[in-house]
DNA sequence: TTGAAAGCGCTAACAT
DNA sequence: ATGTTAGCGCTTTCAA
């Protein structure tokens, strides 16, 4: 920067101003500075600039899993939300390992991200509070009771109910639910399922499997292999596992929805594909991401006050994998 | 840091060493330092540390599109490749807009990433060279002729041929190809298709559509609406567009593979899903990512020499969407 | 508007 | 093994 100043015949201050596109520099000087910067192959060092200015204008975004398309939607929403605000996004991928997630968040904090957006945090509230050290954070799709941490999520309890209500209305009575209880810090969908089942006086059937297509496939296979009577409908934790369930059913010669109905969750593009036509509970991922970005922006703009909890209402998108039970 | 030093009764140097987990500090001092750091709620500033040390131990990873699962695979490969090397990943999402991509790369460079890994760069070589300013870079899935830029990719020319050869062997003669020529800086797959078609003395049929499920869906719909004779087989640019093609065919009442065969490209988990069973050309995305990380690591370890070009052989994974043509 | 000076919070020689 | 001293490359007062 000093070289540029010398080359352009000015001191260092105007160079700094030109780089930040400040209007307080006369046009001719600005041109001179820009020219010698180009001539010298100057590349600004944002580490230094951020260190000195104590502002990074950057949000850290943690995405749980790139293989689940719902996070692409959440990301799009966040990107839409920060567009035009002059803020940047740096993203890290968590892989559902609390230690890795904590490390990623720590990295954001140490890099002095202005705020942190967590889409799919699986650790404990205590860990989160410890690693955040006061950095503004908004947790997406989960409610984490930590002071100063805002949450934007879908009403998963209601979503679970919605799925059961839809199936019950179609005439289903043997309705199973698939998720991964001991791992998941997101029990609300199952709870909603259980609530609705009890309300209808139905017996819950709980299956367990990893939260992936493969996990859904295996869990369903194991259940069928065990010789248990086939449920007439299955509520899967999300679209990806629902796809695995479909894989399993179809590979066993069971027809969907003729023999078994299947509901997913997230309403990803996967579910929306005309070929699959997966009935799914829409948690409005993109909108959630956008709102989360908005909340972070508000905090940066100085909004104080208690934790913000925004809980959107999920909606059921009915497609071709659910229908009235045939036999029974 | 000075506060910690005072609190622990030492000077600043050992504090810095403790933070970097250096072994040159006596255990009792280390403990004292750690204690007062915790007591004071110390959070190291990595901006300052990176600025002072002039090393960031961070790779910038640019991902073209989160909605295409192939990039999740590439990312996994990169993550696997850098695991245990003490390097971190910072990722940015490109959205297939050269301006946005350039901005993301500039950001990596300005933040002094040690290297940059570009999965799906769509800009020109000149732009890339200009923004890189000497930062080591490896471009993934594309060959970009820029000095000092390494490339790890699949032999797309061969991949295009592979698809046609497979279909030809099954007995297909009216084989169409779908991609987006004017936008895509990746013409090799189409070229491979064209080469093989010419070799077999067949007439090429070129369809155009956006590189997304929706794009494939629309392109196929338009083609069918135009009343052109239905091809007996379709080679799609990638799995995502292939899914769109399937959507279109099935919604028109055409059966796959009985009436039309379809081949995708990338062999993503989407294609591998038993439900879809999409025949696809595997470009070994995860391995490519891993190799790319390895190349970057080599460069950082001081490997000089000319540009490295690693071109993997694609393989065809045959599933249920391709079969011998029935009627003709 | 521009110039000079004092940091931002850390690392890296070096000397002890 | 520990303390001291100079920076890393920028921004930001403050004066001029």
Q: What is the pLDDT of residue B262?
A: 98
Residue that has been written with the tokens 């080469």 in this structure? B195
* Chain B residue numbers touching A243 (CB-CB < 8 A): 273, 275
Residue that has been written with the tokens 């797959």 in this structure? B189
Tell me, in Å, how far CA of B12 is from C1' of D5?
Answer: 12
Burial letters B219-244, b for 16+ CB under 10 A, else e: bbbebeeeeeebbbbbbbbbbbbbbb
Residue in chain B closest to A56 (alpha carbons) equals B47
Whole-model pTM above 0.85?
yes
Nucleotides of D under 7 A from a protein CB: 1-5, 7-13
Is the CB of B51 less than 8 angstroms away from the CB of A45?
yes
Residue in chain A closest to B95 (alpha carbons) equals A76
Is residue B107 over pLDDT 50?
A: yes
Of the partner residues A41, A44, A51, the one whose CB lies closest to the CB of residue B48: A51
Window 115-144 of A: residues touching B by CB (8 A cutoff) are 133
A30, A34, A39, A43 alpha-carbon torsion, rounded to 10°:
140
Is B71 in CB contact (< 8 Å) with chain A? yes
Residue that has been written with the tokens 């910072």 in this structure? B90
Residue B310: strand, helix, or coil: strand
Work out the minimum CA distance from A130 to partner chain B, whole angstroms: 9
Q: Which has the higher per-residue pLDDT, A187 or A257?
A: A257
Tell me, in Å, how far CA of B11 is from C1' of C15?
Answer: 15
Q: What is the pLDDT of residue A14?
A: 87
Residue-wise pLDDT tens digits, B24-57: 888 888 888 998 999 988 999 999 999 999 999 9
pLDDT category at B327 given cuts 50, 70, 90 is: low
Asked if B13 CB < 7 A from strand C, the reply is yes
pLDDT category at A186 given cuts 50, 70, 90 is: confident
pLDDT category at A327 given cuts 50, 70, 90 is: low
Least confident piece of the model among B7-16, B127-136, B292-301: B7-16
**Size of the A and B interface in Cβ pairs below 8 Å:** 105
Secondary element (H or E) of residue B296:
helix B285-300
Is the CB of A246 less than 8 angstroms away from the CB of B44?
no
Tell me, in Å, how far CA of A14 is from C1' of D15?
Answer: 16
Distance CA A52, CA A46 (A): 10
Is the CB of A72 less than 8 angstroms away from the CB of B66?
yes
Output the CA–CA distances (angstroms, integers) from residue A198 to A74, A194, A202, A299, in the order listed.
33, 6, 6, 41
Output the CA–CA distances (angstroms, integers) from residue A199 to A34, B1, B224, B281, in the order listed.
71, 59, 49, 50
User: Which residues lie across from A309 on neighbouring strands?
Assistant: A151
Is B66 in CB contact (< 8 Å) with chain A? yes
Least confident piece of the model among A7-11, A275-279, A290-294, A322-326: A7-11
DSSP state letter for A174: -
Distance CA A51, CA A57 (A): 12
Residue-wise pLDDT tens digits, B273-310: 988 999 999 999 999 999 999 999 999 998 999 999 99
Asked if B51 CB < 7 A from strand C, the reply is yes
Distance CA B136, CA B301 (A): 12
User: Which of B109, B208, B13, B156 minimizes the C-alpha distance to A45?
Assistant: B109
Contact B262, B256 (CB under 8 A): yes
Mutual orientation of helices B27-40 and B12-19 as an angle, nearest 10°? 90
* Chain B residue numbers touching A269 (CB-CB < 8 A): 67, 213
Q: Backbone phi, then psi, for A167, in 5-degree steps? A: -70, -40
* Chain B residue numbers touching A276 (CB-CB < 8 A): 275
B260, A262, B270, A155 alpha-carbon torsion, rounded to 10°:
140
Residue A176: strand, helix, or coil: strand
Q: Which two tokens stand for residue A136?
A: 């503004």
Work out the minimum CA distance from A196 to partner chain B, whole angstroms: 30
Contact B113, B60 (CB under 8 A): yes
List strand D contacts in A 52-91 (CB < 7 A). 52-55
Residue-wise pLDDT tens digits, A56-111: 999 999 999 999 999 999 999 999 999 999 999 999 998 778 899 999 999 999 99
Is residue A45 over pLDDT 50?
A: yes
Residue-wise pLDDT tens digits, A132-153: 999 999 999 999 999 999 999 9
For the stretch A81-88, contacts whose Cβ atoms lie closer than 8 Å and that sit 24 or more positions apart, written own/partner, are A81/A289, A81/A290, A81/A291, A81/A292, A81/A293, A81/A294, A81/A297, A82/A293, A82/A297, A85/A297, A86/A57, A87/A57, A87/A58, A87/A59, A87/A114, A87/A297, A88/A57, A88/A58, A88/A59, A88/B107
Is the CB of B79 less than 8 angstroms away from the CB of A72?
no
Is residue A253 over pLDDT 80?
A: yes
Contact A261, A318 (CB under 8 A): no
Least confident piece of the model among A19-28, A173-182, B111-120: A19-28
Is residue A328 over pLDDT 50?
A: no
Is residue A118 over pLDDT 90?
A: yes
Q: What is the pLDDT of residue B328?
A: 46
Residue B26: strand, helix, or coil: coil
Residue-wise pLDDT tens digits, A309-318: 999 999 999 9
Tell me, in Å, how far CA of B134 is from C1' of D5?
Answer: 32
Is the CB of A66 less than 8 angstroms away from the CB of B44?
no
Distance CA B251, CA B23 (A): 66
Asked if A48 CB < 7 A from strand D, the reply is yes
């Amino acid at each position: 920067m000093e070289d540029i100043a010398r080359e352009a015949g000015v001191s260092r201050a105007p160079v700094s101003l030109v780089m930040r596109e400040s209007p307080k520099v006369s046009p001719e000087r600005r041109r001179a500075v820009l020219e010698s910067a180009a001539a010298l192959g100057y590349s600004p060092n944002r580490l230094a600039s951020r260190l000195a200015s104590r502002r990074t204008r950057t949000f850290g975004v943690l995405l749980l899993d790139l293989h689940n398309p719902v996070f692409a939607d959440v990301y799009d929403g966040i990107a839409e939300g920060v567009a035009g605000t002059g803020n940047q996004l740096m993203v890290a991928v968590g892989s559902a390992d609390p230690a890795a997630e904590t490390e990623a968040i720590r990295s954001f904090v140490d890099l002095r991200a202005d705020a942190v957006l967590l889409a799919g945090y699986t650790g404990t509230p205590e860990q989160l509070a410890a690693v955040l050290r006061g950095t503004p954070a908004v947790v997406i799709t989960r409610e984490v009771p930590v002071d100063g941490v805002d949450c934007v999520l879908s009403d998963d309890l209601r979503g679970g109910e919605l799925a059961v209500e839809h199936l019950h209305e179609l005439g289903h009575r043997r309705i199973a639910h698939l998720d991964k209880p001991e791992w998941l810090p997101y029990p609300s969908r199952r709870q909603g399922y259980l609530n609705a089942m009890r309300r209808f006086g139905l017996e819950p059937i709980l299956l367990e499997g990893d939260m992936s297509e493969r996990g859904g496939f295996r869990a369903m296979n194991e259940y069928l292999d065990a010789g248990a009577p086939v449920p007439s409908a299955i509520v899967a934790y999300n679209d990806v596992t629902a796809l695995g369930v479909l894989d399993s059913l179809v590979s066993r010669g069971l027809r969907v929805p003729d023999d078994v109905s299947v509901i997913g969750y997230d309403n990803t593009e996967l579910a929306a594909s005309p070929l699959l036509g997966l009935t799914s509970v829409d948690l409005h991922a993109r909108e959630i991401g956008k709102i989360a970005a908005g909340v972070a922006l508000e905090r940066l703009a100085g909004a104080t006050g208690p934790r913000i909890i925004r809980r959107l209402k999920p909606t059921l998108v009915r497609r071709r994998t659910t229908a009235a039970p045939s036999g029974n």
